[in-house]
Structure 1
Amino acid sequence: MDSKQLLEGDLIRVERKNLTGINYWHWGVYIGDGNVIHFSGPPDSNISLKEKHLAEVRQVTIKQFLGDDTEFQSVPFLTELSRAEVVERAKSQVGRPFRDSSYELPYNNCEHFARWCHGKAESKQVQNAVLWAAIGSVIALGAGILFGASVSYAKRNTERDHENI
């Protein structure tokens, strides 16, 4: 997407890779004139456990927001708030930690901030990760039950075969 197509208040995201090599989306709010407001660590940092306390809402150029990336996505504008209200909400947080709290991936991250500017602080990528972890746990539990049942069945058949000899 070309930044010239952006409108004030647009939610934008860029794909990044964390320190463990896992891809994630970094979120911000486009405020016009080539600027973005986002919740992040210091410039040129990837928030680590040691740097969480340094995270704050920052206003940067779109180029700074993108970092080494050139591609980004604009997420559909789904809010009852006007674009001006979204921008005002974003600007009201600049220079301080979002919700006056440190960066916490599950409940206070860049997506929470960007979506809060649109009316509701939430992180769909965290919600999806939790959902997939739950599905994986159910599958693992089911596989464990099936394995246990098959071992038990095989053991009973072996014992029965020994009784018949």
Structure 2
Amino acid sequence: MSVPGPIRRHGGRDPLRAGQNRLRLPHVMLDALAFLLDKLALFFVTCAPPPERERVYRRGDLLEVPRTLFTHFGIYVGDGRVAHLIPDILPAVTSDARRLRSKVTSARLLLGVLAKRASVRVDSVEDFAYGASVRLNTHAMERAAGSRGQPDAEAAARRAERLLGSAPYSLLWNNCEHFVTWCRYGAARSLQTEQFCQWLKSLIRDQRNAVLAGLLGLLCLACLGVSSGTALPAVFIPFTLWMAS
């Protein structure tokens, strides 16, 4: 007796297998999106120099890690641990303490920047470094302190520990550098933000940029045609730059 083969419909296609393929497609797309986010975040948070040899830090020391486009800061709280503010989307979507304590991935970090959510957490020096070198900051922040004098290292560590948990985040106005300067000196300040704003100010004040924006606007009108979507930016942006210069 011959055994009948699988029943096929729709021109010989297996409907069960087709349904499985349709269910698998969203998972493949999610995996691809997670992969792209991870690679994009790695560009911003990693740096070429390898970690330096192990050294002894004192509780309350201010540590910094050079990244590709910025420097990440933290407060050493002892036992090989660092308190730092890091963008993290997870506190906005779950309250599971076990998941929140896990290492922040690149995708979690990048989504936290976009959602303006962060957490103040304690990680090992290795996790804080994220593959880059760790430096002891002994000069830039002390100059920023001005007349406040030498900060109390133990008080800085205690302040950092009191702030553990979810926190709002802003790339310019509430970042990791604001966190450590508040812990060390009682006043939130970011030298990186100030340098960026100074560069942006010089860019706006340069009248040549207004002329360049005007030429680019005319080029867009010539290529894309005159419409409300092209004419308004082509006029408004150069006018704004010219008035601000």
Q: Same fold (TM over 0.5)?
A: yes
Sort the Cα spacing of 1:96 and 1:80 in 2 relative to 1 into closer, same or farther, 3 A. farther
> Greater share of helix residues, 1 or 2?
2
Counterparts of 1:2 and 1:115 in 2: how far apart (Å)?
26
The runs of 5 or more residues in structure 1 that have no matched partner are 18-22, 146-165
Equivalences for 1:10-159 in 2 at 5 Å? 10-17=61-68, 23-42=69-88, 43-45=104-106, 46-48=109-111, 49-53=113-117, 55-69=118-132, 71-76=133-138, 78=142, 80-97=150-167, 102-119=168-185, 120-138=187-205, 140-141=206-207
- Amino acid corresponding to residue 176 of structure 2 in structure 1: C
**What's the CA shift for 1:3?**
4.6
- Percent identity over paired residues: 27
What is the alpha-carbon root mean square deviation over aligned residues? 2.1
Counterparts of 1:3 and 1:104 in 2: how far apart (Å)?
32
Q: Deviations over 1:8-33 (max 9, x none)?
A: 1111111223xxxxx11111111121
Maintained 8 Å contact 1:40/1:47: no
Counterparts of 1:3 and 1:36 in 2: how far apart (Å)?
14
Higher radius of gyration, 1 or 2:
2
TM-score, normalised to structure 2, is: 0.49
**What's the CA shift for 1:80?**
4.2
TM-score, normalised to structure 1, is: 0.71
The alignment covers a number of residue pairs equal to: 133
Sort the Cα spacing of 1:47 and 1:113 in 2 relative to 1 into closer, same or farther, 3 A. farther
> Greater share of strand residues, 1 or 2?
1
Higher mean displacement: 43-52 or 127-136: 43-52
Q: Describe the SS at the equivalent of 2:70.
A: strand
Maintained 8 Å contact 2:87/2:119: yes
- Amino acid corresponding to residue 73 of structure 2 in structure 1: W
**What's the CA shift for 1:47?**
3.3
